[in-house]
Chain A
Amino acid sequence: MDKNYFEHIPKEKFEFQQLDANIHDKKLETKSRGYFADAMIRFKKNKSSVVAAWILMFLVVFSIVSPLISPHHIKEMNSTYVNHPPFIKAIADKKWGIFDGAYVHESQSENQKLTWEAIGKETGLNPIIEVVDTTIQKEKYRGRWRDVTYYKLENNKYYERGVVYRTLAYEEFKNLVKFQDETGIQVLYPYVEPKDINDIKDNANIWYQVKDAKGTPKLDADGNFIPAYSTNQEMADLIPYDSLRIESDPGNYIYYFEKSGAVHVRVCYFNYYQYEQWKVDGEAQEPMYIFGTNSLGQCLFTAIGVGARFSLIFAVLVSAINLTLGAIYGAIQGYYGGMIDMVLDRISDILSGVPFVVVTTLFQLHLAQKVGIVPSFLFAFVLTGWIGMASLTRKQFYRFKSQEFVLAARTLGASDWRLMFKHIFPNALGTIITSCALVIPGVISSEVSMTYLGIINLQEAFGTSIGTLASQGQTAMTSAPHAMLFPSIFISLLLISFNLFGNGLRDAFNPATRGVDD
């Protein structure tokens, strides 16, 4: 047979074999799954990681949303409400025992309790939530034994502030009166002259007649306070006052006191706060601090969100840079091997010996003024952060570079760069991705330590950070545990869920290492 016989087969000799017949191959009934889909399924089986992923998502959403929905800006620092517990008036009024700004005072004297009751009487905002405990002690007083009662009181710290003195310019005062008229909120309370209350000048909360210079109230026969409000009309005739008056006012109390070109007033701070909000927003807002305030008077709800934003963005950025650098460095090390590997390995050995605090401090001293605190902090992380990634990539490259598919690609003329990143790197990707999820919590935790120690201070650049919040909370730990508790809970939850999530990812991507913690 000569071969031409096959080359020139006339077209009509061809016919379709099974144009109408069924093909008996079975169709695949299951969907084919890629590597990632497979990993996803394995990940979902790991319950704790899934829960961690949800918590993580919640925390991330919290950090994005909380500064947006909070009524307070991070730069807003209230100098009066410092280290105050969580408070939302609507919930506090329901008396559920939460968000009521409660603070427990141990062993308070009868007099102290009376002054707080007086605040409640005058402003209508009673600071005493509950008398937790009453103890009667025998004490020697002027040679005689007598019973002294001590109270353990649970107080609303926001109401406890009561009435404060303010010195206002005439314009400001008129504005305040306008606020009272518009909203019907009583801010100004009748003036009390120090001469009527035993020359006590530093306590605006005394509106009753007193017995001594300590402010012990003088009570009438029924046990009520006797008002000591001033009716000295001469001192208050500059601006006619025809705004809100308190209930017991017979009409001749004065609500301000002229004092060298300004007016001296007693204002209920809780309501004065609303006035200050009204000045800014045109709307009266009661104090609302969902997580309370810290030692600077910042709203912790906002501050934690702002700090967490920084931590998260920063950690993701650092990890991304470190992973890229480390992958390239490790790829070069692993691919070329030999002398290059050794030299590069020594370099990374030396760098890894430098303690992180030292790097941060030196960068802070040198670079912070030139490029800013945050970039210099970032460089500090980048300087030594890539080493772990590089050694991981190097190991993977050693594993894959001598395999046949690399040889095949090289025979076909692939360049070094192409071999590294098109052929070997994708094989190492699984291991690399999974370590990535564990790098982020590491970065967050070192960042928090550095800001906690005060080596890095982000207050000017970024408002605050979790570490700063925690160290501020630490200083007032006994009187305001919430200021330490909330940042601590947040950072702990964040790190725990990140680690659990990362472990889950690693187990999902490398089933071989499942259960091996390193």
Chain B
Amino acid sequence: MLKYTIQRLLFMLLTLFIIIGMCFVLIRLLPPPYVAPEDPHKEVIEARREAMGYNKPIPVQFGIFLKSVLTEWDWGISDKMYVGQDVFGLFVKKMPATVIVNLYSILLSIPIGIILGIFAALKKNTWIDHAISTLTMVVISVPSFVYAFLIQYIFSYKLGWFPFLMKSGTDYFTWDMFVSMLPAVMALSFGVIAGFTRTTRAELTEVLTSEFMLLARTKGLTKTQATVRHAMKNCMVVILPSIFGNFIGIMSGSLIIEKIFSIPGVGQLYINSINAPDYPLFIMITAFYTSIGLLAGIVVDISYGLIDPRIRMGSKK
């Protein structure tokens, strides 16, 4: 298990290294953003570029980049959007908004999703099951900006319950802030709820038809007891890893939702850095997103083994 984990982590680092390398090379092949002669920051930017090796061959530039990242955790400074500011510092400042909104969203949607899934599985092939399954299908298919529009139009505009956009400021735990986050939280939740409903339903229907469930009933457990003690436990083998995966994923946020509700988070920073374009910021957040994606994959895989020791990790298939 440990060996497998270490293997996976090492491979993740390798993958990350290759992806960042490719991204870096492709970015540095482009001409750096133009600095106007009258720009007050011109000298700083040019000195900085000189230090980053803009006039040297690209492999050397990559060496300089890696060295500064690994030794000083210096990801460069923003050269377009927030001129002269440390990229990593900017990123850290944007982090809380994303994490909080996404955290609320999954805290809200995981229980609802699982309960709906259980409900559908227990009432399999009744109208409740069909309704829930069809709805899940529909919700998963519809793009998130459609929910955002419906929520903004109905709740914010017609009913006036919530503000259109997230409140600016850093008082993340006040009531006003919470209310202003709710539309974004709701818009994010639809997809997650549907995802969990679908997984839970699929897993639970499979478990409910297995023979040990029959045995549990024969030995005298009621249906509820059998479901809670035997079926749910087995079904958690699949659900828990995906919960872990979701918790890792809260940091990356949703580009579209953050743009619509103007959440001052990582996703919006990323979109802005693409449109600006602000390359150091872009490379930094790319590295972040890539590592989050890879990490979530590893956590999901390893947690399978942790939850259910029968699933042997690292063995040849």
Contact = CB atoms under 8 A, between A and B. Distances in A.
Interface of A: 48, 346, 349-350, 353-355, 357-358, 361-362, 365-366, 441, 445, 448-449, 452-455, 470-471, 473-474, 477-478, 481, 484-485, 488, 491-492, 495-496, 498-500, 503, 515-518
B275 A454 contact: yes
Contacts of B260: 474
A354 B141 contact: no
B36 interface: no
A358 B23 contact: yes
Contacts of B274: 357, 361, 455
A515 B18 CA distance: 40
Interface of B: 11, 14-16, 18-19, 22-23, 26-27, 29-30, 133-134, 137-138, 140-143, 145-146, 148-149, 152-153, 157, 198, 201-202, 205-206, 255-256, 259-260, 270-271, 274-275, 277, 282, 286, 289-290, 293-294
A492 B139 CA distance: 9
B15 A449 contact: no
B143 A365 contact: no
Contact of A365 (B18, B205, B277, B286): B277
Contact of A496 (B141, B198, B202, B259): B141
Contacts of A498: 141
Contact of B143 (A355, A362, A454, A495): A495
Closest 5 interchain pairs by CB?
A495-B141, A496-B141, A488-B146, A492-B142, A499-B141
Contacts of B27: 362, 365
A452 B22 CA distance: 26
B44 to A, nearest CB: 25
Given A365-B26, A495-B142, A453 B259 contact: yes
A471 B133 CA distance: 30
Contact of B149 (A354, A445, A474, A495): A474
25 contacts: A350-B15, A354-B19, A355-B289, A355-B290, A357-B255, A358-B286, A365-B277, A366-B26, A448-B143, A452-B256, A453-B271, A455-B274, A474-B149, A488-B145, A491-B143, A491-B146, A492-B141, A492-B142, A495-B142, A496-B142, A498-B141, A503-B137, A517-B133, A517-B137, A517-B201
B137 A499 contact: yes
Nearest to B198: A517
A349 B30 contact: no
A362 B140 CA distance: 28
Contact of B282 (A361, A473, A515): A361
Given A357-B270, A453-B256, A495-B142, A515 B205 contact: yes
B157 A477 contact: yes
Nearest to A347: B18
A453 B140 CA distance: 20
Contact of B256 (A346, A449, A492): A449
A477 B152 contact: yes
B246 to A, nearest CB: 17
Contacts of A485: 149
Given A350-B18, A355-B290, A449-B256, A492 B134 contact: no
Contacts of A349: 11, 15
Contacts of A454: 271, 275
Contacts, number: 111
A366 B142 CA distance: 32
Nearest to A363: B26
Given A362-B26, A366-B30, 19 more contacts: A346-B11, A350-B18, A353-B15, A355-B289, A355-B290, A358-B289, A366-B26, A366-B29, A449-B255, A454-B275, A455-B274, A481-B153, A484-B149, A492-B141, A492-B143, A496-B142, A499-B140, A517-B137, A517-B201
Nearest to B294: A353
A337 B54 CA distance: 44
Contacts of B205: 515
Contact of B202 (A441, A492, A517): A517
A85 to B, nearest CB: 15
B202 A516 contact: yes
A510 to B, nearest CB: 15
B170 to A, nearest CB: 25
B290 A362 contact: no
B23 A362 contact: yes
A86 B150 CA distance: 19
A500 B206 CA distance: 22
A381 B293 CA distance: 18
Contacts of B19: 350, 353-354
A453 B152 CA distance: 18
Contacts of B140: 499
A354 B259 contact: no
A471 B259 CA distance: 10
Contacts of A353: 15-16, 19, 290, 293-294
B30 A365 contact: yes
Contacts of A441: 141
B153 A477 contact: yes
Contacts of B153: 477-478, 481, 484
A63 B281 CA distance: 40
Contacts of A496: 137-138, 141-142
A347 to B, nearest CB: 10
Most buried by B among A361, A455, A484, A515: A361
A304 B60 CA distance: 49
A484 B152 CA distance: 12
A312 to B, nearest CB: 16
A355 B286 contact: yes
Contacts of B289: 355, 357-358
Contacts of B259: 453
Nearest to A454: B275
B286 to A, nearest CB: 5
A97 to B, nearest CB: 19
Contacts of A355: 286, 289-290, 293
A403 B119 CA distance: 42
Nearest to A446: B143
Nearest to A455: B274
A452 B257 CA distance: 11
Contact of A449 (B30, B143, B157, B282): B143
A263 to B, nearest CB: 44
Contacts of A362: 23, 26-27
A503 B141 CA distance: 12
A357 B179 CA distance: 30
A355 B296 CA distance: 13
A350 B297 CA distance: 12
A478 B289 CA distance: 34
A474 B145 contact: yes
B30 A492 contact: no
Nearest to B144: A449
